[in-house]
Amino acid sequence: MAIDYTKRPSEPPPEPAGAGGPVPLTKVTLTKQAPSVSLSKQGAATGTIRVNLNWTSRPAGAPSGGFLKRLTGGAPAGIDLDLGCLYEFSDGTKGVVQALGNAFRDRNRFRPEPYIWLDGDDRSGTQTEGENLRIDLSDVAKIRRIMVFAFIYEGVPNWAAADGVVTIFPVAGPQVEVRLDESTPGTPMCGIAMIENVGGEISVRREVRYVRGHSVLDEAYGWGMSWKAGRK
Domain locations in the chain?
27-221
179-219 per-position pLDDT tens digit = 998 888 889 999 999 999 999 999 999 999 999 999 999 99
Contacts made by residues 174-178, CB under 8 angstroms, sequence distance 24+? 174/24, 174/25, 174/26, 174/27, 174/28, 174/42, 175/26, 175/27, 175/28, 176/27, 176/28, 176/30, 176/37, 176/39, 176/204, 177/27, 177/28, 177/29, 177/30, 178/29, 178/30, 178/206, 178/208
- Is 50 exceeded by the pLDDT of residue 166? yes
The percent of residues in the chain predicted with pLDDT above 90, rounded, is: 47
Residue 75's pLDDT is 34
User: What is the band of 94 on the pLDDT scale with cuts at 50, 70, 90?
Assistant: very high
Q: Of the ranges 66-70, 73-77, 107-111, which is most confident?
A: 107-111
Residue 188's pLDDT is 92
User: What is the band of 23 on the pLDDT scale with cuts at 50, 70, 90?
Assistant: low
For 126-173, the three-class secondary structure string (H helix, E strand, C coil) is CCCCCEEEEEECCCHHHEEEEEEEEEEEECCCCHHHHCCEEEEECCCC
Residue 108's pLDDT is 63
User: Class of the 27-221 domain?
Assistant: mainly beta
User: What is the band of 70 on the pLDDT scale with cuts at 50, 70, 90?
Assistant: very low
User: What is the band of 161 on the pLDDT scale with cuts at 50, 70, 90?
Assistant: confident
- Is 50 exceeded by the pLDDT of residue 68? no
Q: Which residue has the higher pLDDT, 134 or 55?
A: 134
Q: What is the mean pLDDT of the chain?
A: 79
Mean pLDDT of 141-162: 87
pTM check: above 0.85 = no
Mean pLDDT of 155-184: 88
Give the gyration radius of the chain's Cα atoms: 23
Range of weakest confidence among 49-63, 82-96, 125-139, 176-190 = 49-63
Residue 110's pLDDT is 54
